[in-house]
Amino acid sequence: MQCMSEEERQVEGLSKIKHPAKEIGYNYKELADGWWQTAEFLMPRDTEPTAFEALHDFMVNKIVPSPTAVELAGHFVSRVILLEVEHPKKTDFEYVRIMISPTDIAPGIPQAEADLIVHINYFDLMRVLNGEPNFDIMTPLWGGSETLIGNVTAGLDLKDILDAAVEKEKVPRPQIWPLGNP
């Protein structure tokens, strides 16, 4: 049996990925006290936002005004994503449900079965929403800190929308997970 060469293993588009988590590494970091007071995507507030408040503000201030993010969301089938957010300074998880196409964000666990459950650290989520360079919703997963349960394509859909909202370059998808694939 002949092994494939490195060249033969290249999947169209993957060579365009500039900063995979494998190369940049994943480092967990807590944000400084008062970080929310300078975050552009958040509405002004005196206390640290909950994950729901942060996602709500992100949707209003980043996703809705972004023609690219809105157009992209229109290509996807309806998805329900449940974020299980772990804050290192709190004892309970916070649950936030996101619906894609049509778009909706609400606190709590959805009544319908989620297409995807994402367990993520609060500060990692805030770094994603803040548009930190070389850091997206999948970086903690590749680094071993995040867990996905369910439809990975739904996670890629979420990644594409979040990236478009913060004006990051679109990363090509593997052909096995095209846009709008159920």
Q: Could you tell me where the beta strands, DSSP code E, fall in the chain?
A: 79-86, 94-100, 104-107, 116-121, 147-150
Whole-angstrom distance, CA of residue 106 vs CA of residue 56: 8
pLDDT of residue 37: 96
Q: Report yes or no: 130 and 77 within 8 Å, Cβ to Cβ.
A: no
Q: Cβ neighbours of residue 71 under 8 Å, at least 6 residues apart?
A: none
Place of tokens 């800190």: 145
Q: Structural domain boundaries of the chain?
A: 50-165
pLDDT tens, N- to C-terminus, the chain (182 residues): 444 445 544 554 545 555 455 555 688 899 999 999 999 999 999 999 999 999 999 999 999 999 999 988 888 888 899 999 999 999 999 999 999 877 788 999 988 899 999 999 999 999 999 999 989 999 898 888 899 999 988 999 999 999 999 999 888 887 887 776 76
Give 50-165's CATH code, choosing from 3.40.640.10, 3.90.1150.10, 3.30.1050.10, 1.10.600.10: 3.30.1050.10
The pTM for the full model equals 0.84
pLDDT in the model for residue 18: 52
Rounded distance between C-alpha atoms, residue 121 and residue 30, angstroms: 10
According to DSSP, residue 49 is labeled P
Supply angle C-alpha 100, 141, 128, rounded to 5: 60
In terms of DSSP bridges, do strands 104-107 and 79-86 run parallel, antiparallel, or are they unpaired?
A: unpaired
Give me the pLDDT at residue 142, please.
84
CA atoms of 170 and 164, how far apart (whole Å):
7
Alpha carbons 45 and 22: distance in angstroms, whole number:
36
List beta partners, residue 121: 86
